[in-house]
Amino acid sequence: MDTVPITYSAAHTLVPTYECFNRCTYCNFRQEPGTSDWLDLAAVQDMLPHLHRRGVAEVLVLSGEVAPHSPRRPDWFRHIYHICELALEAGLLPHTNAGPLHREEMAQLAQVNVSMGLMVEQMTPSLLDTVHRHAPSKRPAVRLQQLAWAGELGIPFTTGLLLGLGETEADWADSLRAIAEVHQRYGHIQEVILQPHRPGQRQSVKGMALVGASLLRAVVLARELLPPEITLQIPPNLVSRDDLLACLAAGARDLGGLSPIDEVNPDYDHPTADRLQHTLGTDRWQLQPRLPLYPQYDNWLAPPLRPLVQHWRQRLSTALTPNPVA
């Protein structure tokens, strides 16, 4: 039986700021506004060439959120933009997830990102009375608007669901159908992440981990409701080996960005690619690196970004080509 490719991105996460005006009860990432320094640009510039030499392709720019009408918002946005510029100058590929953005901000970031992302989380408004009670940007209409704007702007996009926040399976189906509907209009959704909740030490309200049959049912449902060209991603550090293999058998095909630290779930370290391949075995699944931009979207990019993407495609192709037997 032929092996099935399972992809991952060799990535490094940069956090412009941990401050966030949302207060989600399950969050292990945020800090109070004004209590932490923003990421130093000089330090970023020094670090990036080392990442390139190590074969890291993706710079995930993952930021806490400054309120939409805060006087600090322009400085925050410029800071993110400059980090993306520095990544490109160092020969790396930025992918930004900074919460909901203004449409004009998305259009500007599209000039310095090969792809972008935002989790839908869940479309049910009932969570606004519980885990998202103090999280204004988690309103379902706001999240869905981001997906639509990304499609209008031609931005290759990653989104996903958080599972185990108090929603129902019917809510999963509603959220997946909403993603599918937007994709059918624009064709821009690369991946949907199915991220199970795993309790962390810093969250304000402890919850139960979503595991086993529930997670597998989410994968099956997603594969039923999403178009086949959308890849399903499972974070390998948040699931057991048995659950991971079951999810792959049910149709998941990507394991996301493998950065040294999972900034969103800092209690759960990412495995290395070698460890993951050992977990998967070699009989059925073959781990393969990918870029943060899927190949079918290469022509969507702003022209200045295309040569760098092609450089990385050639580099990956060379690495995956077996050496001829003497």
pLDDT in tens, 169-204: 999 999 999 999 999 999 999 999 999 999 998 888
The answer on pLDDT for 325 being more than 80 is no
The answer on pLDDT for 57 being more than 90 is yes
Burial class (CB in 10 A: 0-12, 13-18, 19+), 242: exposed
Nearest to 52 by CA among 317, 315, 277: 315
Q: Name the band, by pLDDT with cuts 50, 70 and 90, for residue 321.
A: low
Q: Considering only the top CATH level, what class is 4-291? A: alpha beta
Nearest to 289 by CA among 315, 323, 251: 315
CA atoms lying within 13 Å on the CB side of residue 278: 5
Residue at token pair 């993306």: 84
Alpha-carbon Rg of the chain, whole angstroms? 19
The answer on pLDDT for 296 being more than 90 is yes
Q: Name the band, by pLDDT with cuts 50, 70 and 90, for residue 207.
A: confident
pTM of the model: 0.95
Name the residue ranges covered by the structural domains of the chain: 4-291
Nearest to 293 by CA among 3, 59, 15, 50: 59
The helix (H) or strand (E) run that includes residue 248 is helix 241-249
The span from the CA of 260 to the CA of 124, in Å, is 33
40 contact partners, CB below 8 Å, separation of at least 6 = none
Q: Check residue 322 and give its pLDDT.
A: 56
Q: Check residue 1 and give its pLDDT.
A: 65
Bridge partners (DSSP) of residue 11 are: 58
Q: Check residue 206 and give its pLDDT.
A: 82
Residues 239 and 196 sit within 8 Å (Cβ to Cβ): yes
The span from the CA of 21 to the CA of 38, in Å, is 15
The answer on pLDDT for 309 being more than 80 is yes
Nearest to 19 by CA among 65, 59, 55: 65
Provide the mean pLDDT of the chain: 95
121 contact partners, CB below 8 Å, separation of at least 6 = 127, 138, 143, 160, 161, 162, 165, 175
pLDDT in tens, 215-225: 999 999 999 99
The span from the CA of 254 to the CA of 208, in Å, is 25
Burial class (CB in 10 A: 0-12, 13-18, 19+), 286: middle
The answer on pLDDT for 102 being more than 60 is yes
Q: Check residue 61 and give its pLDDT.
A: 98
